[in-house]
Amino acid sequence: MSLLPRARNAAALLALPVLLTACAAAGTEQAASGPPKPGGTLRLGISSAPDCVDAQQVATNASINVARQLVDSLTDQDPKTGEIKPWLAEKWESNADSTAFTFHLRPGATFSDGTPVDAAAVKTSFDGIKALGTKAQLGYGYLAAYKGSSVVDPRTVRLEFSAPSAQFLQASSTVSLGVLAPAAFKKTPEQRCQGDGLIASGPFVFESFKQNQEIVLAKRKGYTWGSSLFKHQGEAYLDKIDYKIVPEPGVRTGSLASGQLDAITDVQPVDEPQFTGNGFSENIRPNPGVVFNLHANTTRGVLTDEKVRQAVLKGVDRTEVVNTVLTPNYKAATSILGSATPLVSDLSAQLAHDPKGAAALLDGDGWVPGPDGIRVKNGQRLSAAVVFSPVFNQNRSVLELIQQQLRKIGFDLKIEQHTTAETTQIQLSGNYDFLWYNVTRADPDILRGQFSTKAGNRSKLTPGNPLDVALDAQSSTVDPAKREPSAEEAQKLIIEHAYAVPVFELTQVVALSSKAHAVDFEASSRLQLFDAWLS
């Protein structure tokens, strides 16, 4: 179902390994192409049609890869360390219980209509996101406890929350809380989705939107207030970005290979080899957040039995999934969180493939092999269904392999494919055994959205359980040293009770021609094209 929420992380977070990689060929070719130079139009092939280009309403990868170029955020997040860095805000403070955040804005930033990015504009923007309700698909969750903002002075704004909201600092770096001009709110949300009245302060401005064909952005003249993480200051290098919507993977790869496109997103595992040399290169980064997983409804059928869930966890061979269906660019899950997520714990030992251990659990629990190899107990077959949508091309192939793996321990996994909209409805209704999905965000608080009984509660747990306690604790302080133990405890509890069965990390693979350079990722593995250039 990959409901792909997007974002980044909190405060001065722990250092992460450097996860942004490019193939060796890229480095040599870039060196040969000389220093970055301005000009040109980047022709970028994307895999699906953005349904909206308003940063405050978008939720799909394709939409975010467009919207990120149009808006600035209060802060930015270092993809390598998870640290929160200055952007529109020069500095900030939070109170002791993380219910109030004060941002001090940098001077000189303006929206594309010439009005200043001041405290009043920031207040209007955050109040506007809150007013969108569930139309702010990701911001709605980030601002769940938002009470309001107050203008301290023209360059200082204070945002207040009704409950501890440590996650907000990282959320302030995401595209979903990007700042729009007051004039933008004179248009309806539907108009802004199509680019009408979409006035922001970002390095590019909206130019045109041809439904299911292309979206064109143009350089913002006079832009001088880029993120402190950008590789250069001043205006973007590119004159324009032309997003070509090419859903068919074969057509996308063929268009890059033939020179009709300069870069493409969502390179499929089967197509990766053709872009690792011959003048091409790949940029690769795993998604932070919740990995692709079988999320169990603990109130349904055989999954009410913890030993059954634990047996499924042991019965999945993650390494075989990556080696057989995916490529070395993808990682087997080592936690419910991906390796690019700040405060991730390495639980690979608990996730080791252990079919003997799985069989021992089921034997001890009274499940005996039936005539077809599927176990039975008191006349009940050891069977559960997984609901998924094909938002990632390999989803069905992965699930069919897991189905084979689980048959070996006597478990019958039934696979049910639905549209993304249908899957969302099934999830909301609670009418599922397993959900298959991933959710992207570079902050451990993403777990609260899926597992807390006060939020998504996809496991259908009862309130006040130990996982709730750990999830609440990690959301109450921006100090990573204080956050880490509770974030680690939450991850351990999810694996220990097999509330979810992590399988693999989604990876973004972008292929580039020899002309395209620095088509990079921000901390949530979404495209950041300010530094991109063409030779």
User: What distance in Å separates the CA atoms of residue 489 and residue 485, rounded to the nearest whole number?
Assistant: 6
pLDDT value at residue 393? 85
pLDDT value at residue 32? 54
Q: What is the pLDDT of residues 365-415, one digit of tens each?
A: 999 999 999 999 999 999 999 999 988 889 999 999 999 999 999 999 999
pLDDT value at residue 390? 86
pLDDT value at residue 59? 85
User: Please, are residues 474 and 488 in contact by the beta-carbon 8 Å criterion?
Assistant: no
Residue 153 belongs to what H/E stretch? Answer: strand 146-153
User: Please, are residues 523 and 442 in contact by the beta-carbon 8 Å criterion?
Assistant: yes
Q: Please name the residues in contact with 390: beta carbons below 8 A apart, sequence gap of 6 or more.
A: 396, 417
Tell me which residue of 382, 326, 321, 384 sits closest to 351, measured CA to CA. 321
Look at the pTM and tell me if it is higher than 0.95: no
* Phi, psi (degrees; rounded to nearest 5) at 138: -100, -40
pLDDT value at residue 10? 31
User: Please, are residues 121 and 88 in contact by the beta-carbon 8 Å criterion?
Assistant: no
Tell me which residue of 162, 167, 49 sits closest to 477, measured CA to CA. 167
- Stretches where the chain sits below pLDDT 50 are 1-31
